[in-house]
Structure 1
Amino acid sequence: MNQFSAKSNKLSYKNSGVDISAGNRFVRKIKTTLKSTHNKGTIGSIGAFSALFDPKPYKLNDPILVSASDGVGTKLVIANEMNNHKYIGIDLVAMCVNDIVCQGARPLFFLDYLATGSLDIGKASTIIKSIATGCRESGCALIGGETAEMPGLYKGADYDLAGFAVGVVERSNILPSAIKENYFLLGLESSGLHSNGFSLIRDIVSTFNIDIHDKAPFSRKKLGDILLTPTKIYINNLLQLIEKKHVYGISHITGGGLVENIMRVIPSDLTIQIDLSTIKPQKIYSWIKGISKISDNEMLKTFNCGLGMVLVIDERNVKNSLKLLKSLGENPRIIGSVIKGKSPLLKGSLF
């Protein structure tokens, strides 16, 4: 046997870093988890080359499909450092379905993409379970996905997540719709940082030599656990408000921050005014502001600053909308209004 034959005998896909049998064991392990998310449109189970979904049970007259895709960003780095992956999938689902409801749509189904250097079945199962938790909370079925082992591209415990969601809305109910001057802006509280701004957070942690395993100075919890608070899913409460036709526009406050995301739903001949003193950011934001001395403007364009969703409501329905949202457990507040003009007008102080 020559030296080339000896080397060839050691070559295999598994020895190259891709374990197909581990992937098959993983799929078998998560089948029950996926089944727990099935809704009335789900057809079959995982294992086919593609996934099927039947929209007929939703009994829409003129259905329009709505799609969204997103990830979790470098919040994944915090999850790895804390060795806590039981919420990160909720973040993934939330980032997609919260975008879908901004068009007035109901999420139908979800697909995930998990990429890693080497498949850790236990860790991956925890991630999928958290994705399933988010899907159950938002009423959409986890009907498939892809798990990719890519040795050489991802190192050590590194992994990445992407999510893809599809929803549906009646054509006549698509949002935003007919937003006018003097309509109110209602803010809905976030659960914290959600899934944006973590590259800046990590820079702050590094710059000031902060150990995220230590208790936060403003809480009894570890800073890392606070940073991993899952993104709030607003679907069920917002769908109830949408069904009453109280809503003319919805903004998901993610990358780009408060002002930029609200302006995405405002007609070009109108703008917004916001009273920043009405927002009441959570303690995590006051801590970020205090330790980093970041300007209010930088805070506003990087973080949600305490508001995860902003709704545009007309004068006639604002009182009933506030009442309904409070009955559903939200803490809504009027933060401003739609006005004539080109540039957003901010007044008051955020901190």
Structure 2
Amino acid sequence: MKNSHSESYAAAGVDVTAGYEAVERIKPMVESTYIPGVMGTLGGFGGMFAPDLTGMKKPVLVSGTDGVGTKLKIAFLMDKHDTVGIDCVAMCVNDIVCGGAAPMFFLDYIACGKNHPARIADIVSGITEGCRQAECALVGGETAEMPGFYPEEEYDLAGFSVGLVDEEKIIDGKKLAQGDVLIGLASSGVHSNGFSLVRKIFDVEHADLKTPRDDLGGKSLGEALLAPTRIYVKAVKALLKGGVDVHAVSHITGGGFYENVPRMMTGGLTAQIHLDSFPRLPIFDLIQKTGNIPERDMYNTFNMGIGMVLALPAAQAALALEILSAAGETAYQIGEVISGEDGVKLVP
């Protein structure tokens, strides 16, 4: 690439040499995510991965794709770009693990108005941290410089991941039964959903995002909103390895409880969730108070402090909570599976 430089392309706003500099900056970070199965190195046309299928009767690939959404606007205003990559990975791998699959690899796509190599490196530092948390490899990606399409100081970030599970171990809700308990895994904050509403409520372009606030435990509004999405891969893997018979899993994303919990339920069964069984994080109280948001809308938009819900046999509840605690998760028994067609029922 030493001879690759186009004055004409640069005059149009695309500096290919900045792209090469960005690659050199991120290469060590990318390689730090490599796990057994990775083939080749950064710079090829396609990321290659050789999965270990030992002991699997019928391997099934499970894929997930997502982005960070308008949470990126907060990153722009805060000029902080090293955590949104964690969000991007989390939104993909947390979906994959709902099916019982272990993520193997991740690829990212960064589109920007101007390629600032140091900023790209910050973004990728978050992506690689997310991959390490998810125990998967970053095997490739793309940085697209698109002047005239994005403002020079803005970018978009998306990605996708592929996981693997043996067909007989897929978690699909077929084992769900009345009397199963619901375990909720604590969220780290708003995660990466509902930010169009958040931005409107706080008028973030004109808000004080950097002053510490007592009602946010000493964090600034910007810090609280940028808290990266928690990645639950290790937690679910620990439960499965520990012999817990997980019947169903729901990742609480956009649409909150009312949209996501019913997706893990089967016909004739409803998840009854007790709202007093877990604490609400201060950021949600501030959002509701500032925007005068009805209670139901809060639970139909945000995770409200619970980022993932798992259903499992009541006899294994204590074991599950013990394993989750050992894995570093804050978890609560938040309800039970009952008869009904609502899909989810929230009770005080």
Q: Which TM-score tier does this pair reach, normalised by the shorter chain?
A: over 0.9
- The match for 2:238 is 240
Of 71, 74, 81, the match for 1:75: 71
- The match for 1:167 is 163
1:339 is paired with a residue whose SS is strand
The answer to whether the Cα contact below 8 Å between 1:246 and 1:321 also exists between their aligned partners in 2 is no
In 2: Cα distance, 1:78 partner to 1:279 partner: 27
- The match for 1:225 is 223
Of 188, 195, 213, the match for 1:198: 195
Of 23, 47, 51, the match for 1:51: 47
- The match for 1:129 is 125
- The match for 1:281 is 280
In 2: Cα distance, 1:175 partner to 1:30 partner: 35
Letter in 2 for 1:272: A
In 2: Cα distance, 1:252 partner to 1:345 partner: 17
In 1: Cα distance, 2:295 partner to 2:44 partner: 50
Which deviates the most, 228-237 or 324-333?
324-333
Gaps in structure 2 of 5+ consecutive residues: 1-5
1:167 is paired with a residue whose SS is strand
- Report deviation, 1:245: 3.8
Which deviates the most, 212-221 or 258-267?
212-221
1:95 is paired with a residue whose SS is helix
- The match for 1:257 is 256
Q: Deviations over 1:126-183 (max 9, x none)?
A: 1011100110111100000010011111013110000110000011000123111111
Q: May I ask how many residue pairs the two structures share in their alignment?
A: 339
- Report deviation, 1:58: 5.7
Of 96, 111, 115, the match for 2:111: 115
Of 50, 57, 61, the match for 2:57: 61
In 2: Cα distance, 1:25 partner to 1:11 partner: 17
The answer to whether the Cα contact below 8 Å between 1:278 and 1:333 also exists between their aligned partners in 2 is yes
Of 86, 90, 99, the match for 1:90: 86
TM-score (norm 2): 0.94
Structure 1 residues 207, 26: closer, same or farther in 2, change over 3 A? closer
Equivalences for residues 269-348 of structure 1 within 5 A: 269-343=268-342, 344-348=344-348
- Report deviation, 1:36: 0.5
The answer to whether the Cα contact below 8 Å between 2:244 and 2:320 also exists between their aligned partners in 1 is no
- Report deviation, 1:207: 8.4
- The match for 2:180 is 183
Which deviates the most, 234-243 or 71-80?
234-243
2:271 is paired with a residue whose SS is strand
Q: Deviations over 1:17-50 (max 9, x none)?
A: 1111211221122111111100001001021111
Larger radius of gyration: 1
The answer to whether the Cα contact below 8 Å between 2:108 and 2:158 also exists between their aligned partners in 1 is yes
The answer to whether the Cα contact below 8 Å between 2:182 and 2:335 also exists between their aligned partners in 1 is yes
TM-score (norm 1): 0.93
- Report deviation, 1:327: 2.4
**RMSD, aligned α-carbons:** 1.7
2:69 is paired with a residue whose SS is coil
- Report deviation, 1:206: 1.2
Q: How much identity, in percent, do the aligned residues show?
A: 44
Structure 1 residues 92, 335: closer, same or farther in 2, change over 3 A? same
2:163 is paired with a residue whose SS is strand
In 1: Cα distance, 2:39 partner to 2:205 partner: 52
- Report deviation, 1:276: 1.3
- The match for 2:3 is none
Structure 1 residues 12, 209: closer, same or farther in 2, change over 3 A? closer
The answer to whether the Cα contact below 8 Å between 1:66 and 1:100 also exists between their aligned partners in 2 is yes
In 2: Cα distance, 1:11 partner to 1:321 partner: 60
1:12 is paired with a residue whose SS is helix
Letter in 1 for 2:280: P
The answer to whether the Cα contact below 8 Å between 2:270 and 2:339 also exists between their aligned partners in 1 is yes
- The match for 1:213 is 210
Letter in 2 for 1:216: R
Gaps in structure 1 of 5+ consecutive residues: 1-9
Structure 1 residues 224, 208: closer, same or farther in 2, change over 3 A? closer
Q: Deviations over 1:89-147 (max 9, x none)?
A: 11111111111100001010000000001100000011011100110111100000010
